[in-house]
Amino acid sequence: MQYHIEVTIGLKDGMLDPEAATIRKALEHLGYPTVSLGLQKKFIIDLDEASSDEAYSKVDEMCKRLLANPVIHNYDIVIEESI
């Protein structure tokens, strides 16, 4: 079975995000003041696995080992079956 997975990775609350701060300042200089601005990264993964539980645990391992840094990042995994 093929699964379509979306992994969203962002910094944990309280972590400084200089990239977001810089973009926010640049927008302000262009005349677009914002109340707040945050950044996340999204991975869209198609995976062949026997079950959605297995797909979830595989993607969870991928996040822990490569995609995210569990010390500073939160991540969120959404799985759906592909047609």
Separation CA 35–CA 29 (nearest Å): 14
The site for its own copies (CB under 8 A) is made up of 2, 8, 23, 26-27, 30, 32-48, 58, 61-62, 65-67
Q: Give least dist CB 41 to its own copies, A.
A: 6
Separation CA 59–CA 68 (nearest Å): 11
Length of the chain: 83
Q: Give least dist CB 46 to its own copies, A.
A: 4
Q: Give least dist CB 71 to its own copies, A.
A: 19
Separation CA 65–CA 76 (nearest Å): 15
| Between 12 and 41, CB nearer to its own copies | 41
